[in-house]
Amino acid sequence: MTIHISKATRQFHLTNGEMSYIFYIGPTELPVQLYTGPAVQDDDYTFLVHQQSRPVACYPRENDTTFSYEHAFMEYPNFGTGDFRDPAFEVILPNNSPLTTLEYHGYQVLNALPQLDGLPHIRDNQVSGQTLMIDLIDAESGLEVQLYYVILSNMNVIARHVVFKNSGEMHLQLSKALSLSVDFPCADYKLTHLSGAWGRERHVTEQSLGVGTFKIQSLRGHSSHLHNPFFALSESHTTEHQGFVYGFALAYSGNFIGQVEVDNFNQLRAQIGIHPDHFMWELAPGSTFTTPQAFIVMSDSGFNGMSHHFHQLIRMGLTAARWQQYERPILVNNWEATYYDFTEDKLLTIAKQAKAIGIEMFVLDDGWFGNRQSDHEGLGDFTINKKKLPHGLPHLVNQINALGLDFGLWVEPEMVSKKSELYQAHPEWVIKVPHRSAAHGRFQYVLDYTNPDVIVYIDDALSEILSSSPIRYIKWDMNRSMTDVFSSYLDTNQQGEVYHRYILGLYQLLDRLTQKFPHVLIESCASGGGRFDLGMLYYTPQIWTSDNTDAYQRQFIQYGTSYVYPPNTMGAHVSQSPNEQEHRHISLQTRGHVSYFGVFGYELDLSQMHPNELEIMNTQVQFVKQYRKLLQYGRFYRLLNPSKHNYTAWMVVDDKQTSALLAVYKHLNIINIGKKRIKLSGLDPQRYYHVSNINQTLSGAALMNIGFDIPDTSYGELRNGEHKTYDFDSWLFEIKEILNADHDDKQKVSHL
């Protein structure tokens, strides 16, 4: 890992031996990009700069008609000086001019990772790297822009963020401040992103690029169900297993934009950062503003390779050390079993059955606090609902612990109901315009996290609850988007800061709580997967993937989510059949097979289950305990995309390539068609492996290059010993290295 700097050419080359990122200080004293891609030698690449007079171009230097911003690949493009593509930043001066003239002022190289105060960033406990800072100054206004680049030694990741400083005496306004902008000389790429809605989050979406601008975004106050702060650019022939991919992601949980622009010269500009709409930051003299950290990941082994770099970044770079290899507990949540209608006895009945089948944690969901009888009241009050829990929360926790189960609790600390003591005492703590009515969502309103008094109140309330009992898990929910955005706490000239200051307040609160209660595992949630992003994972090691627990729809959701996020971050529970959301009947086996490849748990009434079902569930629990480390921390490979096949398939492989688990899920029976053959990934081609369910021992090379037929019998007539297969059936294959390939392996075929 090295940062090469040439004083003669003023070229900067960041490389770790696998990837290179190269730029130089151009003729106008601004950094100009030269190359981003697989590692190259440290040579002079300034010959790549486009210097040629072009029709109708505008030139920034008086006597030079060969260098135009319109045709240059700018590291952090500005506005209004000849580059007619979208800028990365915009500053409004006191005379309302958006024009700045930044010039290179120097650099620093740090053998450490930058710490972003109040924002998620790469932790330095398990990750090493070097940091380059490029200093740019506008002498007239005193604006200083510091571009930060982090090159990591052990993964193909470059992290970028920007710090704006007002070192002058003018009062400045920052109206746009993206974290990352990268220019490419051609647009011969396919765009991939994750789109969806509530209940069908993060479906893989692919499209070709043409002249124009394509953007993904959120203006909801959270990263949203609709788009995820991630996109990828890949060569047209790229698959899950081969081809070159650039992945872009943002460690942020609020309004964001990800944008790809192709100009009339087929040049491509990729950008990501805080959404500039409804953003205006007051940059007073002496003040600073720091953008969220963004990441570029490069892979020459397809989308699976890209995902492996993101997974490693999350597990080792963003997750707190305590949770990096922590095997997640198997839990049961009472929500779909009882909703708001529960008693202490009912909860204990479910908990006792949970213990009987080997579950490790009981989680009490919504309805335990205030006057909470429905979603119309109670949010914001943290007193115990004595009608439901007459002996109080500590008593219930002690009873659950006495059964041998850990205890978890649902909270929604960012919201308030009008029918609550908190709202009656502090209506000014709601985000809304005074003296105007405001839209509600789920009959609730958003608390003003820009107000320090609100943060203190929530901090104190949650700290009291967490200190009262041995609570080991919190499900942190957030069930509506932001509307009527106005803060009664902030000055009128700061209303453009509300969205971002809200997120800073949220991060501050989460940081306080995780410092005080480091043993409490927090799972975040936002009406399911409405805030599944790198920013939340910095504080909450896992996230509820979707409110939709239907095993068929979850294949699409978990498949897409895995493009960036590893299985140990995805809450994945078995729920009842027919499913509460989709009303679809799917076998308990398939529901288990889907949930295995996430943070496994149950979301149903165990007291109503048939003995045969409880027996299957006990088998599932024991299976997860046996393979939990592999399922949650193995290297994850996507094999069959559910959007392109009648099957979904994925697998996990351990670090030593000695053990793997493969799951295949059928969508619908289709009679009289050809067999489907599946090829595996991630095995050692020289070793031999026994594969259950087909009861064969084959080389890794054979399994990856030839594969085997999925044992689906819906194609035609049954042969001796074959069983009928049905819609939504699934198969789980245990794959284990055989040290002596000549040994007659007698392992039984697994029917888990």
Which amino acids are annotated catalytic? 477, 547
Amino acid at 145: V
- CB-based burial label for 447 (10 Å; 0-12, 13-18, 19+): buried
What phi and psi values does residue 163 have, to the nearest 5 degrees?
A: -115, 125
Token pair belonging to 242:
């081969």
The terminus-to-terminus CA distance of the chain in angstroms comes to 45
Query: Quick one: residue 641, left, alpha or beta (phi over 0 = left, psi -120 to 50 = alpha)?
Result: beta
With a CB cutoff of 8 Å and minimum separation 6, the contacts of 211 are: 262, 263, 264, 266
* Dist. CA 516–CA 558, nearest whole Å: 32
Q: Tokens 């609570």 belong to which residue?
A: 471
CA 515 from centroid of its chain's CA atoms: 22
Shortest CA distance to 535 belongs to which of 90, 234, 315, 223?
223
Query: Quick one: residue 316, left, alpha or beta (phi over 0 = left, psi -120 to 50 = alpha)?
Result: alpha
Q: Tell me the angle at which helices 498-516 and 452-468 cross, rounded to the nearest 10 degrees.
A: 30
Question: What is the gyration radius of the CA atoms in the chain, in angstroms?
Answer: 27
What phi and psi values does residue 663 have, to the nearest 5 degrees?
A: -120, 135
For residue 611, what are the CA distances in angstroms to 353, 398, 573, 584, 616? 11, 28, 20, 22, 9
* Element at 131 (helix H, strand E): strand 129-138
- Torsion of Cα atoms, 510 then 515 then 516 then 518, to 10°: 100
DSSP 168: S
Half-sphere exposure of 666 (CA within 13 A, CB side): 23
Q: Tell me the angle at which helices 452-468 and 393-402 cross, rounded to the nearest 10 degrees.
A: 40
Token pair belonging to 470:
């041995």
* Dist. CA 268–CA 182, nearest whole Å: 8
* Dist. CA 632–CA 640, nearest whole Å: 20
Shortest CA distance to 113 belongs to which of 157, 179, 61, 173?
157
Shortest CA distance to 736 belongs to which of 688, 677, 685?
688
Q: Quick one: the chain helix, strand, coil %, rounded to 5? A: 20, 30, 45
Residue 737 CB neighbour total at 10 angstroms: 19
Q: What is the DSSP string of 365-404?
A: -S-SBTT-SSTTB-TT--SB-TTT-TT-HHHHHHHHHHTT
* Dist. CA 12–CA 330, nearest whole Å: 49
CB 214 within 8 A of CB 519: no
For residue 10, what are the CA distances in angstroms to 24, 25, 236? 5, 6, 34
* Dist. CA 558–CA 449, nearest whole Å: 31
Amino acid at 177: A
Token pair belonging to 361:
């944690």
Helices (H), 111-240: none
Token pair belonging to 549:
């627990």
* Dist. CA 530–CA 229, nearest whole Å: 11
Shortest CA distance to 601 belongs to which of 358, 330, 328, 408?
330
Q: What is the DSSP string of 250-276?
A: E---SSEEEEEEE-TTS-EEEEEEE--
